Amino acid sequence: MTTIRTVAIIGAGQMGVGIAHAVALGGYSVTLYDVNPDRLPVAQGEIAANLARQVGRQRITQADADAALGRIAVITSLADAGAADLVIEVAVEDEAVKKQVYADLIPHLGKDALLASNTSSISITRLASATDRPDRFIGLHFMKPAPVMGLVEIVRGIATSAETYDAAVAFAESLGKTVTNAEDFPAFIVNRILVPMMNEAIFTLYEGVGDVASIDKALKLGANHPMGPLELADFMGLDVVLAIMNVLYDGLADSKYRPCPLLVKYVEAGWLGRKSGRGFYDYSGDVPVPTR
């Protein structure tokens, strides 16, 4: 079985930062790359702050935090990711962007390196076909926030080898995660179920059945959900929710996966949720305020 000691994370957005944090805390040497070099020092600061928060909550020791931070190095060239045993692509949920990352990355990879995508919805088989190693390509879908959430979805493409699968499972479990196996269908398991629920909540808002506060309160208290569906959509990013709904709609050709027009409008407006400061809630103050 492939031995993984070094891991390169391609993409230093919220998910990339979380995965780098979790992997470094698991004892691996991590290199973190982003197409925007200015993002890298910000990402380092976010990881340091998140580790400090875990220390404050007594989930890890200060020594653990210091050691994890010391294992993370930022890189400004994809060539510097080439020596990693495992590369995890965490680019935006756009198939063309991901395939371009692979095209730029593959010339630098060792022949035995494993390549994984953290895609939350796109076909692993199709992504793997754009690489030189479909047998060594797999889906490793971490949940957000990656340092906290206990699940990793493992998604095999049609060409993924048994050795690659075994190595991916062992890697995820070494981080203290529980794995679940998902077949390579649009949005896999978690988002196949979760994101249409969010889309239905947006339709409920769009049709005037309830306002933002009422819908979220109803699901939190009526279904014992820790977050309301609109609050959760804002947390995930409304652009991500829309991208997943489009993958489901295009891939399964079923009208029940049609994205709500209100979701489309919010994304067109740049109202993407927490990361943009406004979505179904306004995050400009100390306490989020419903916008509808």
**Which among 89, 141, 199, 231 is annotated as catalytic?**
141
pLDDT digits 0-9 by tens, 185-208 = 999 999 999 999 999 999 999 999
Nearest to 115 by CA among 87, 92, 134, 93: 87
DSSP string, 127-171: HHTTSS-GGGEEEEEEPSSTTT--EEEEEE-TT--HHHHHHHHHH
Q: Is 200 exposed, middle or buried (0-12, 13-18, 19+ CB in 10 A)?
A: middle
The CA distance from 200 to 197, in Å, is: 5
CB-CB contact of 235 with 144 (8 Å) = yes
**Which among 120, 121, 123, 199 is annotated as catalytic?**
120
Residue 69, pLDDT score: 96
Residues 6 or more apart whose CB falls under 8 angstroms from that of 189 comprise 153, 180, 182
Domains, the chain, in order of start with CATH, read 6-182 (3.40.50.720), 190-290 (1.10.1040.10)
Active site residue 153: yes
pLDDT digits 0-9 by tens, 52-62 = 999 999 999 99
> What angle is formed at CA 132 by the lines to CA 131 and CA 138, rounded to 5 degrees?
60
Active site residue 21: no
Active site residue 191: yes
pLDDT tens-digit profile, the chain (292 residues): 568 999 999 999 999 999 999 999 999 999 999 999 999 999 999 999 999 999 999 999 999 999 999 999 999 999 999 999 999 999 999 999 999 999 999 999 999 999 999 999 999 999 999 999 999 999 999 999 999 999 999 999 999 999 999 999 999 999 999 999 999 999 999 999 999 999 999 999 999 999 999 999 999 999 999 999 999 999 999 999 999 999 999 999 999 999 999 999 999 999 999 999 999 999 999 999 999 9
Active site residue 276: no
CB-CB contact of 245 with 232 (8 Å) = no
Which pTM does this prediction carry? 0.89
CB-CB contact of 81 with 33 (8 Å) = yes
**Which among 89, 191, 199, 231 is annotated as catalytic?**
191
